[in-house]
Structures are given as C-alpha cells and as structure tokens.
Structure 1
Amino acid sequence: MRKVIITAKSHEILRERLPLHGYQVDYKPDITYDELKNSLDRVEGLIVSTRIPIDQPLLEAAQDLRWIGRLGSGMELIDVEFARSRGVKVVSSPEGNCDAVGEHALGMLLGLMNRIAWSHREVGEGLWKRDANRGWELGGRTVGIVGFGHTGAAFAKKLQGFDVTILAYDKYKSGFARGNIREASLEQVCRYADVLSFHVPLTGETRHMADTALFRSLGQKPWVLNTSRGEVLRTTAVVQALKENRIAGAGLDVLENERPETYTPEEKAELQWLTGQSNVLITPHIAGYSHESFYKMSKVILEKLGLDK
C-alpha cells in the first residue's frame, strides 16, 4: 500500500481523508530526520512543517515520493528546486493561516501601544499606574508592511477601520495598491512608518534584513512587529535599537533561535533583557497556529493535492 508520513502535529482531517485515497498514514509528529530518512520505502507523500529539513540527501532516499504538503507558509527547509526536478509536487498552505497571523500581529500591536500586558503585570503586583501606562491610538498613523503576500495582505485587511495609511513594500509584487494601501520602496517604508511589520519568507535576501543599518535608517520611531521568521530580524540589532530609543517597542512572535534549551549565555541574557522591557511582547511562534488555522492548513493541502473529496 502507498504510504504517507505526517511529520508534524496536524488536524485529524488528514488521517481521515488520506486513507480514502488508498494511503496508509503513519502519524509521526516526533519523528527525527534520521528516522524519517530510514523510513521512506514506498512513501509517496510527506506532510511537513518547519521541524525537519527536507534536503537533497533525504529526497534522494525517497525514491517513491510523489508529493510534499507543507503545513503553513515558508519553504526554507525544503529543497523545492531539487524536489521538483525529481517530479515531486510541492504545495504549501499559507491561505490556511494568514488570517491568524494578521490577527495576531494586530493583537500584538494594540497590546504594545496600550501597554496591556505590562499594566496587567503591574496590577498583579499591587500597582495602579495610570499615567505611566497611558496608551497611544493607532488611528491616523502610517503602517509599513514589508512583504505583501498572504500574511501581509491579511494584516492590511485586519487594519481596515483603524483610519491608517498603509505603505506596503514587496520586491516581487506590484499592482496591489487600493484604498488606503500604497505601494512603496523599502526606503520609503522605513522613512515614514509609525509601525513596521515584517511578513517576508526567509531567504538569502531576507535573512537579517532588519539589522542595525535598517534600524538606524528609520525616519520615525516605529513599533516593530515580526510574525514571519526569526532570522529576518537580528536580535542583537533589536536590542540595540530599543536601547538607543530608535523604536517605540517590539512585538516578536518568532526569534532567531526558538530552542531556549540550546541558548548560549549571550542569548539567555538578550532574552532576559527583552522580556523585562515594558515595550516588548514575545510569543512562542503561535501567530499562525490558531485552532481554526490548525484545521484550515490541512484542508488547503488536501485541496491542492486533489485529495479533499
């Protein structure tokens, strides 16, 4: 029987639908790279996330592989070019979690601007500081969006009703300006934005695109959000920008290193400093991981593979 290995936590719809199309499903969300590489006999499909690299050696071992379904967006851990050269279909499901990312980004922004988490912490400590926790309104501001794919566009949609101007930069897209959304260069976004939100995939071009030079080029003092990939922002540069008062705050759903148990003393010190700031929010890569998106990502993969009936 044809096999599918699911290498990540996923909605049960995959385990329900795939057998209807003749697949034996092995649900192994904790499988390691080596275990997967040694388990590819008669495997025609892989369901993956960001946990295991699907690189050339693994693909060469997968002689019977016909397709790969990526839960969510971002293909940086899949050698897509090599896979497709071997006739392997590769699909992702950014449509399934872009709304969740957009809502999370908006939630972080409003939380930062209104000091919600920090003032809640202070109240729990018996403090009642109204003046120190006075918030800022979003209306009338300029929101810069770097990357206008599924999640960037979803964030822009969530901002409707807030009376903001949106400056959106995307190196590989154009013609998306409408209403309050204007196309802009990265330099223009950095110069005029009161909010700077990153929604780009992780590539050689975008790795550490938000570094010290970018933060020192800012014309305003924006709130900075990252719900894309941790390596898009250099953590040390974020810390420096906060200390130099170049940004109003930071909302980070992703970090360069998302395995705290592997942190160096320097990484531990940076994280401890960041989480101790009243103008910083950090969440554990959950923006695109809502209960609804958990289902929708799997459903989108089945649709794109023609296995949804």
Structure 2
Amino acid sequence: MATAEKTSYPKEKIRVLFLENISDLAVKNFRNSGYTQVEKISKALTEDELVKEIKDVHILGIRSKTQITPRILEAAKKLQAIGCFCIGVNQVNLKSATEHGVSVFNAPYSNTRSVAELVIGLAIMLIRRIPDKNKAAHEGIWMKDAKGSFELRGKTLGIIGYGNIGSQVSVLAEALGMKVLFYDTETKLPLGNAADGKTLKDVLSKSDVVTMHVPETAQTKNLINKSNLKYFKKGSILINYARGEVVELEALRKYIVDGHIGGAAIDVFPWEPEKNGDRFQTPLQDLPNVILTPHIGGSTEEAQQNIGEDVSLKLLNFLEKGNTFGSHTVPALALPPQEGSHRILHIHNNVPGVLSAINTALSDAKINIVGQYLKTNEEIGYVVLDVDKQLSNRAMQLLKEVKETIKVRMLY
C-alpha cells in the first residue's frame, strides 16, 4: 500500500464517501494510507441527495441500493472512481461512467462461499419440508411425519449459471452425494463430475433442485417463467439467490399452489424496500414450504470483510498507482514504478490520432517521455505517461489541451 510520500497530491484534500454501511475495514484501509476526509453513511442516498453530495467527492463507495445515474455522474466533477462493495455493478450506469472517465470496481468473488453455503442449506431445509414443520411447531402443532421429506444424497441439482457462485455450489453439492447438471450460455469447464445440460429445458426437466446464479440482463429477465415452469419435475424445488428479475413470481406462485413446484427459497425481488423495517410484499408470502429472505445471500461478516478489503485496495491501487485491473470502465493496466519521473494519467475518447497528438505535443515542447503505457476499449483510451520531473507541470497543461481528452491526473 502506498505511503504518503508516494503521491504528489495532498491526501488530506481527497474526499472519500462510503454509503450503505460499508465495512469499517474499507474506512480503516483509507485512513491508514493517509486519507483524512473519509466519511461513512449508513444508508443509501437518493439521486437528488447524491447530486448535491458528490460535487467534491473523489472516491465513492456504494453497495446495491444506491443507483448511479448519468445525472449524478454529470454532477461529479472531481470523481475518479466508484467502488461497488458487492458482486455486481448493475446499479451503476456504466456507459455514462465510461464517458466521464470514472473507473468502476467491484468484488466479484468475495461473497461466493457465503452464498454457496446458504444455497446448500436451503436445499436441505426445503427437501425435508422444514419450513412447514417449523411453522407448525411455533403454532403449537406437532407434525412428526416423514412423508414428502427426502435426503439430498442421490438427487440431481440443476445450476443455472455456472460462474463463480454456481461452480462453488456444484462442488459443495457433489460433496453431499448429489448429481450436478448445469446450464450456461457460455462454454464452461465442469468441476468434479458435473455435467453440462446443454439446454435450459434439459436441466429443468431432470433436476430435483434448481438454483439460479445468473446476472440481471435483458436476456435473463423472467428467465424462469410460466412457459418453462411446466418443464420442472413435479415436486422439485426452486432457489433464487441471484437477481430479482430472473424469476416471474406470479407464475411461480401458481405452480406452488398447484403443487407442481414443491418449494422455493427466494432472496431477491423485483422490488425491495429501501431500508430495514419498511413494509415488504411479494406474491410468495403465506405459501407452504417457501423461505423468503431479505437479500442476505452474501451477508456474512466474513463476506463483508472480504468485500471491504478487496474493493478498498482496488480503489487505493487506482488512486495511488494508476492500476485499473478489475475496472469495468477504464481499460485494464497494471504499471511498474518508474524512478526519476512524474507519472500522469490521461483518459480520452477512443478515436484515431489521440496518442499521436499526445506524443507530438510533448515532443514539440521537448518533454522527454521516460515510459508510456496504453490500453483501449471500444469507448475510451487510457494512457499512462512517465515524464521528466522538471517538465511535468508543462506536460499536464499540454495533455489537458489534447482534443478528445476526458480526464488528466498527476499521480506523482
């Protein structure tokens, strides 16, 4: 981690804002690195609130509730990076962030184990019909009955989305003696004895338990719907700890009431309350053998600490070294240190001629380039230049004047 001497900008002037009760470990990492303006707020902010708040913010940390819109990014004149302290980035308008040269980081692996363990636990609870027996016991009714209760061993688990979490669930399921089928739109190497089901229908029709682990996209909206719920085995179980829009809940209710689906566990919903204690409604309330949880699939202390560590270090590496590995907007570069020079970061629209314009401007001013690194994506280019110390301020001014420039920052 960089020390105070490594950067030319005054760390006490860098404002860091963390929303939604982000792990204290993230706050600690920034303060230990010399940043004094670190503010932590326990709740999400509305668009209007954040537009007012973000004008002087350099680093923003959020979780899944805060929505980063083009209007917010337009107001964020000093913003360098956004850290999404969760596994997804769909709460950020990535197109607008890219256009403004704001790097967006997340923690795609940090809560994998927490979700995977819970999915297996839910499968056990539902296949044994524990929710109904638990409810009866709380109501003073004794329901000692083996009918409709089964072991997981020997059953087939269908995994829809064989990514970080889906593949981890696969490993745990096999350890319990389950057979594993998976479906993914991309070719994936199976772990253990898991088998590629080839089609969604094939996996749904052969599985005793189906668990969803897909992102929220236009293609996955209502992926499980009234048209394909009929392919599920009678009495099978559905678990959705992925995204709220991937299951059509009204259709699922009908199939549970009809007895075709034997149980469900749902953690994510198309609409979720803003804060704890708010009224919550879903079509799946008051149904037999259904477990509803308030978006806590990855909410363990271990996961939150891992996320806090992972994302805060990515933000610090970008802020202090210019490293963009893991960014969803700025092209990925990891840079070796260069002694005896000053480092300047230049983000620009990816159009022909920009690099030539940069080099020409510096060459005409007789500014020596000690090192240069370039990476582009479809939208923008990211250039890191190590230049002669004595002429670095002049270089900064020239780079700001290059056509198509989005952002220029002196790193050290």
CA distance in 2, matches of 1:52, 1:292: 22
1:60: which partner in 2?
74
- Report the 3-state secondary structure (helix = DSSP H, G, I; strand = E; otherwise coil) of the residue aligned with 1:231: coil
CA positional deviation for 1:32? 3.0
Q: What's 2:385 paired with?
A: none
Greater helix content: 1
Q: Give the letter for the 1:49 counterpart.
A: R
- Displacement of 1:301 in angstroms is 0.6
1:43 corresponding residue in structure 2: 57
- The one of 119, 122, 135 equivalent to 1:108 is 122
User: Which of the residues 204, 225, 239 maps onto 1:190?
Assistant: 204
The alpha-carbon deviation at position 34 of structure 1 amounts to 1.5
> Aligned partners of 1:205 and 1:290: how far apart in 2?
30
- Cα distance in 1 for residues equivalent to 2:305 and 2:122: 23
The corresponding residue for 2:193 is: 180
SS at match of 2:20: coil
Q: Does structure 1 retain, via aligned residues, the 8 Å contact 2:47–2:69? A: no
Between the aligned partners of 1:209 and 1:124, the Cα distance in structure 2 is 36
Q: Which runs of 5+ in 2 are unaligned?
A: 1-12, 321-412
Tell me what 1:138 maps to: 152
User: Which 5+ residue runs of structure 1 have no aligned equivalent?
Assistant: none
Assess if the C-alpha contact under 8 Å between 1:114 and 1:133 holds in 2: no
Comparing 297-306 with 135-144, which one deviates more in the overlay?
297-306
Identity of aligned residues (%): 28
> 1:307 deviation in Å?
4.7
CA contact (8 A) 1:192 1:220 kept: no
Give the match's secondary structure for 1:126.
coil
What does residue 254 of structure 2 align with? 240
How far, CA to CA, are the matches of 2:149 and 2:126 in structure 1?
8
1:9 alignment partner, one of 21, 27, 41:
21
Q: What is the aligned partner in structure 1 of residue 167 from structure 2?
A: 153
CA distance in structure 2 between the partners assigned to 1:133 and 1:212 by the alignment: 28
Paired residue secondary structure (2:112): helix
State the distance in 1 between where 2:41 and 2:18 align.
Answer: 6
TM-score (norm. length: structure 1): 0.90
> Are 1:222 and 2:232 an aligned pair?
no
Q: Is the 8 A contact 1:95 1:300 kept in 2?
A: no
1:18 and 1:307 in contact (8 A); partners too: no
In 2, the alpha carbon distance for the partners of 1:235 and 1:95 equals 28
1:122 and 2:132 matched: no
**8 Å contact 2:171–2:192 — kept in the other structure?**
no
Q: Note the C-alpha offset of 1:133.
A: 5.9
Cα distance per residue 1:227-265 (max 9 Å; x no partner) = 0112211110110111232211111112222229566xx
Q: What is the aligned counterpart of 2:315 among 272, 282, 305?
A: 305
Whole-Å separation in 2 of the counterparts to 1:218 and 1:114: 19
The AA in structure 1 aligned to 2:194 is: I
> By how many angstroms is 1:96 displaced?
1.3
Deviation of 1:53 after TM superposition, in Å, equals: 0.8
Counterpart of 2:219, as a letter, is: E
Give 1 or 2 for the bigger CA radius of gyration: 2
Per the normalisation by structure 2, the TM-score is 0.68
Say if 2:212 and 2:239, in contact at 8 Å, map to a contact too: yes
Q: Distance in 1 between matches of 2:163 and 2:316?
A: 23
1:298 & 1:89 partners in 2: Cα distance?
Answer: 17
| Partner in structure 2 of residue 288 of structure 1 | 298
